[in-house]
Amino acid sequence: MTTALANLTAFILLLTITAYSVAGGVDYGAGIWDLLAGRGPRAERARQLIDHAMAPVWEANNVWLVLAIVVCWTGFPLLFQSVFASLYPLFALALLALILRGAFFAFRHLQSGPQAQRRTGVVFGISSLLAPFFFAAALGAIASGRVALGEPNIPVWQACFNPTSISFGLVSLAATAFIGASFLVGDARRFGQPDMVDYFRRRAVIATAVLIVIGTIALAVTGLENPHLLNAMLTGLGTPFAAAAVIVTPLVGFLVWRRFFRWYRLLSVVVVGSLVFAWGFAQSPYLLPGQVTIAQSAAPLGSEVLLSIVTLAVVVLILPSLALLVYLDQRGELEAPQA
């Protein structure tokens, strides 16, 4: 009973990380393209589309981040202690970027001059780069095996910044740019802006190529740092998800390049979700590779039962609410009335 509940809780934690990677990744990706838009009338049109697409739903995505933190500290207190003791700089930087991103996204709409809007937009864009990088770097640091059980046994900076953590961070940036461009293609089509469809279509194809290259490099780095994890991705529990990412990523790029605008957004979600699942299942049954398993780190049975009940109630409330929000947004029901 305890082992089954612990595995269920671990799966819920993986699902919340995946949900945040997908939903938050769309918005982070939009922020990355906002930063890279440059200057000129076309760049301003791209930024207006990004603002228009993000405004109704961007803040709701942080629900998954909060849920992941709560599930981690309640369901796996030993994991929570170990991870935050070794990786607190990464989480501090990620949360700082998250706060600055939200604040300056709001400030940009209050500024009247182009220079002030540009400055706030730069902070918003840079924060959109830093937040997903540092969050994913924390997962990479765990995958590298440098997070010790309990207190750190190596300097914190070595646990935080190493080849695996950096490669995970770079894959996250490429994946968020990829899924962000994919969804912005759909938003441009929904708002009837054919020039922006082409603008973001080209960027989606470029992001696809970048993700393939960086993902390949990250696999090589993982093999050098943690051969067991790479083996589990290629021949173990993570294999179906790694294969899905390898097959579907170029497929999305091909569909967008050929202007076949069906299924490409759903498939881009499959790509990002598969990347997270490939890591999570490959690392199973360990939460900290080679040190502590899911069952060993689990909270007492009573806590696991209560957490399962509360999590189920939260999901029952959250999923329909978010689904309704996205549905209304896609139908244009959340648009501000015309003056």
Domain assignment present for residue 192? The answer is yes
The total number of structural domains in the chain stands at: 1
Domain assignment present for residue 298? The answer is yes
Residue 321 sits at φ, ψ, to 5 deg, of: -65, -45
Range of the domain at 63: 2-303
Domain assignment present for residue 308? The answer is no
**Which residues touch 150 (CB under 8 Å, ≥6 apart)?**
78, 81, 82, 85
Domain assignment present for residue 337? The answer is no
Domain assignment present for residue 310? The answer is no
Residue by residue, pLDDT tens for the chain (339 residues) are 678 888 888 999 999 999 999 988 888 999 999 999 888 888 889 988 888 777 656 667 788 888 899 899 888 999 999 999 999 999 999 999 999 988 888 787 776 677 777 888 899 999 999 999 999 999 999 999 899 988 888 999 999 999 999 999 999 999 999 999 999 998 898 888 899 999 999 999 999 999 999 999 999 999 998 899 999 888 888 999 999 999 999 999 999 999 998 899 999 999 999 999 999 999 989 999 888 899 888 888 888 888 888 888 877 887 787 778 777 766 666 665 444
CA–centroid distance for 260 within its chain: 26
Q: What's the CATH number where 264 sits?
A: 1.20.1630.10
CA–centroid distance for 296 within its chain: 27
Q: pTM of the prediction?
A: 0.90
Q: How far apart are the first and last CA of the chain?
A: 60
Domain assignment present for residue 277? The answer is yes
Domain assignment present for residue 324? The answer is no
Domain assignment present for residue 30? The answer is yes
